[in-house]
Amino acid sequence: DVQMTQSPSSLSASVGDRVTITCRASQNIHTYLNWYQQKPGKAPKLLIYGASSLQSGVPSRFSGSRSGTEFTLTISSLQPEDFTTYYCQQSSSTPLTFGGGTKVEIK
């Protein structure tokens, strides 16, 4: 099974900050890596697919990148609505697996 190690589990930041969340895969998953945003009490929402492609309707301040088995979600300038939880997920092989999540909190 592919293990997804997401870090940090939480972070504190301010509006306007640049934020980076990392996910490391336990083996090569190529670009089969997706990022989701989940607000409290709501279903997750797809932000980034294929490691770096922005889902339709998602603001351009969100971006994704890959370096080997390490993947990064970057929010270039945090907005108030961005303070919530983010998950990575690999779609390379079953079982499909998620990272443990990163909660972005207001500093």
Partner 1 sequence: EVQLVESGGGLVQPGGSLRLSCAVSGFTFSNYWMSWVRQAPGKGLEWVANIAQGGSEKYYVDSAKGRFTISGDNARNSLYLQMNSLRLEDTAVYYCVRDSRSGGIDAFDIWGQGTMVTVSS
Give me the least distance between CB of 58 and partner 1, in Å please: 11
The tokens describing 103, both together, are: 């909660």
Minimum distance of partner 1 from residue 3's CB (angstroms): 13
Q: How many CB atoms lie within 10 A of CB 6?
A: 20
Binding partner 1 (rule: CB under 8 A), the pick from 91, 104, 105, 107 is 91
CA gyration radius, the chain: 13
- Give the contact letters, 28-47, x = binds to partner 1 (CB under 8 A), - = no: ----x-x-x-x----xxxx-
Q: Taking a C-beta distance cutoff of 8 angstroms, is the pair 24, 33 a contact?
A: no
- 97 is a contact residue toward partner 1 (CB under 8 A): yes
Residue 72 within binding range of partner 1, rule CB under 8 A? no
Instruction: Please report, as a single letter, which amino acid is at residue 4.
Output: M
Residue 65 in the binding site for partner 1 (CB under 8 A):
no
Task: Report the interface residues with partner 1, using CB under 8 A.
Answer: 32, 34, 36, 38, 43-46, 49-50, 53, 55, 87, 89, 91, 94-101
